[in-house]
Amino acid sequence: MGYLEESLTLGIGLYNDRKVAIGAYNETGEGDHIAMLLSSNDALVEWGSDLYEAYRTAAVPAEKPVDSTGK
């Protein structure tokens, strides 16, 4: 488990390498979704997977797990 040192304005969901969900947040990366894209297009699924892996590689290992309250 890790975290990014920067705030993101999107979320990525990958489903069995066949679907991708991209959720957009407001400018600060907090709050409600402002847009959602769900696709099974191979090129978009590959792009989402590559983006996820890039963020995962850039993530800093967490010292200890964060609970649901953020502590």
The residues spanned by each domain of the chain are: 2-61
Contact yes or no for 25/37 (Cβ under 8 A):
no
Q: Rounded to an integer, what distance in angstroms lies between the CA atom of residue 63 and that of residue 18? A: 33
Q: What is the pTM of this model?
A: 0.68
> What pLDDT digit, counting tens, does each position of 3-60 carry?
676 777 788 889 988 999 988 887 765 667 788 899 999 999 999 999 888 888 888 8
Q: Which residues contact 53 (CB under 8 A, 6 or more apart)?
A: none
pLDDT of residue 58: 82
Q: Which residues contact 6 (CB under 8 A, 6 or more apart)?
A: none
Quickly state the pLDDT bin for 65 (edges 50, 70, 90). Answer: low
pLDDT of residue 30: 64
pLDDT of residue 71: 54
